[in-house]
Structure 1
Amino acid sequence: MPVTDAAIPVTDSGYRRSDVTYDVVGVWQGAFFRLDDHINRFRTSMNSLRMTPPESDAQIKAILNRLVAMACLREAYVAMDCLRAAPPPGKTRHPSNCRSYLSCYAIPWVSVATPEMFARGLHLIIPKARRIPTESVDPTVKNFHWGDFTRGLIEAEDTGADYPVLLDFDDNVTEGSGFNVFCIIDGKVICPARGALEGVTRASVLEMCAELGIPTEVRDIHADEFRDSDEIFASTTAGGIMPASRIDGRIMNNDRPGPISARLKDLFWAKRAEGWHATSVDYSVATTGDSAP
């Protein structure tokens, strides 16, 4: 159905309690990027939350492929959600009483960063809002608990910045609102060890750094160290690699993307164009009607 016609009941736990996990995979030039990695992460998240929809991983892949093919999209943002429904009559709203089901859609490609942001670099802030503790919500399970990010986005808007990067309660950097973050210090690319989603694009950055011989480190990054770093960039499915040029008003690299960040961004898209980690969309299913392997 058209995405504008899709709906979930307002009584479902997915809506009433944000009892949802999800994943998003990108399609570029007619091919999914790291589809198996996204499906594996989605399944891991569902298992963590004890969600058991009837579809197998192969069937989920086929559903996503069919959505892209039916929409005739060459560049797409493809979402897979798993939600819990309302309990049957007479049952309590305990998760074990609510069935799990999928809701998937494909829409034209969207990006976290606008063309202007890519050209000048993201303007970031570290807001007062803190990341929800990992003891409360596991950040490696992709979720809809965005209360902390929403507060951060409001703070960013009030200061004229584009996006927030949230700290944990030990003043270490975690992640931004929908993206992983990296900083570069003395030529080394560093990303947080805790409190963030284990991003698929994040993994791609580490692979590219190994290919280029750029040293990397995964460790805690204190806020002061992050603010004083040589370069900062973000990574996400919806945008790829997005260099920053400002953090809390501090201008880096003459108010433009830094050289290592820009190099990684350009390499990322060059490798995508060459078919790196690509799974071609089978557009024939839009006419044959096949929806399962």
Structure 2
Amino acid sequence: MSIAYYDGQYVERDTIRINPTDFGFARGVTLFELARVYSGKPFCLMAHLQRLERGAKMLDLPLPALTELTDIATGVIARNAYAHSAIKFYLTAGECARPSGSSYMACDGFTPHLMIFEDEVVPKHPEAPYGLELYQSGQRLKIVPYDRDLPMLKTTNYLTGFYAARQVAGADYDDILFTHRDGYITEATRSNFFCVIDDVLVTPQRGMLMGITRHVMLELAAQLGIKTIERDLFPADLAQATEAFTTGSIAELMPARSIDGHQLPTTMNGKIFIALRQAFSANIYG
């Protein structure tokens, strides 16, 4: 039985219940974080918790101190003792003690809830968590004219991506690339986007969630001497791309084989992708 943390106690995960009047459920006001755990050691945990803390401050939700959160997360990890896992943090707005139909400002006396779950992760390959064949073939990405609400917050609201992936992109694509209303590319549904144009690593600079794995990639690229630019990327720019990949905590580095009609010459065999993949593996397993 998986052990979780809920409002001050370690409990069996299956015993946790959420009140349907919780604004986390009824209004979607829930902050979310996910950090990978390799051989019992959380990867970039403090960066994830700092982002959670920034979100809590923006939404005026109480959160334990980062040192306490670290201890709690370590306690969950120790109790479950998975070889590899993902630890997930959920902070809901809670129930409104004095609800009012006239205004959100009239709601007060909230009782927020903090939940920390851990799911076992069993990578199919050390450098391709979802399976080597999938990474070798690469993703087919579809550009769509949508963007994320409040991209500075990591929340449980994936409605736009869910809708676009199923209703707009269709079965001929594996994931989508959001574009801001001003036309520039922002991110994929659950990951950040990188491409290589004229031997330069390029990634969007605004309008998206600033991912933790994205930040690690930028640091590794700097260490390797790879020329990198953060700038606005437009769909027309991607016709010149020779490599492309997305980054996220679970998938790590996921190469692309096509973007709309543009076929990329490489997937896992791209020069820059190989360098970053090897550096990332050394960073997490070294």
TM normalised by structure 2 equals 0.86
C-alpha distance in structure 2 between counterparts of 1:107 and 1:240, whole Å: 16
Alpha-carbon distance, 1:81 to partner: 1.1
- Pick closer, same or farther for the CA change 1:113–1:247 going to 2, 3 Å: farther
- Pick closer, same or farther for the CA change 1:254–1:260 going to 2, 3 Å: closer
Q: Does 1:75 align with 2:92?
A: no
Q: What corresponds to 2:282 in structure 1?
A: 270
Alpha-carbon distance, 1:77 to partner: 0.6
Superimposed CA distance per residue, residues 154-196 of structure 1 (whole angstroms, 9 cap, x where no aligned partner)? 1466242111111011111111111010111111111111111
- Pick closer, same or farther for the CA change 1:258–1:59 going to 2, 3 Å: same
Alignment of 1:98-117 (within 5 A): 98-109=110-121, 114-115=130-131, 116-117=133-134
Q: Does 1:222 align with 2:234?
A: yes
Q: Does 1:259 align with 2:271?
A: yes
Q: What corresponds to 2:156 in structure 1?
A: 144
C-alpha distance in structure 1 between counterparts of 2:267 and 2:23, whole Å: 45
Q: What corresponds to 1:158 in structure 2?
A: 170
C-alpha distance in structure 1 between counterparts of 2:129 and 2:234, whole Å: 25
Q: What corresponds to 1:192 in structure 2?
A: 204
TM normalised by structure 1 equals 0.84
- Pick closer, same or farther for the CA change 1:160–1:230 going to 2, 3 Å: same
Q: Does 1:123 align with 2:133?
A: no
C-alpha distance in structure 2 between counterparts of 1:46 and 1:12, whole Å: 16
For 2:70, the aligned partner's letter is K
C-alpha distance in structure 2 between counterparts of 1:245 and 1:189, whole Å: 16
User: Aligned residue pairs: how many?
Assistant: 267
Alpha-carbon distance, 1:117 to partner: 2.1
Structure 2 segments unaligned to the other structure (5+ residues): 1-10
C-alpha distance in structure 2 between counterparts of 1:225 and 1:2, whole Å: 50
Structure 1 segments unaligned to the other structure (5+ residues): 275-293
Q: Does 1:51 align with 2:61?
A: yes
Alpha-carbon distance, 1:110 to partner: 6.8
Q: Of 35, 38, 42, which aligns to 1:32?
A: 42
Higher relative contact order (CA 8 A, sep 6+): 1
Q: Which stretch has the larger CA shift, 248-257 or 15-24?
A: 248-257
Match of 1:85, SS? strand
Superimposed CA distance per residue, residues 176-230 of structure 1 (whole angstroms, 9 cap, x where no aligned partner)? 1110101111111111111111111111101111111101111110111124311
Alignment check: 8 A CA contact 2:137 2:267 kept: yes
Superimposed CA distance per residue, residues 34-76 of structure 1 (whole angstroms, 9 cap, x where no aligned partner)? 11111111101111111113x2211111111111111111211
C-alpha distance in structure 1 between counterparts of 2:208 and 2:88, whole Å: 20
% identical aligned pairs: 22
C-alpha distance in structure 2 between counterparts of 1:207 and 1:156, whole Å: 34
Alignment check: 8 A CA contact 1:179 1:234 kept: yes
Alignment check: 8 A CA contact 2:37 2:84 kept: yes
Superimposed CA distance per residue, residues 86-109 of structure 1 (whole angstroms, 9 cap, x where no aligned partner)? 112x44365543122211101112
C-alpha distance in structure 1 between counterparts of 2:272 and 2:163, whole Å: 31
Alignment check: 8 A CA contact 1:20 1:81 kept: yes
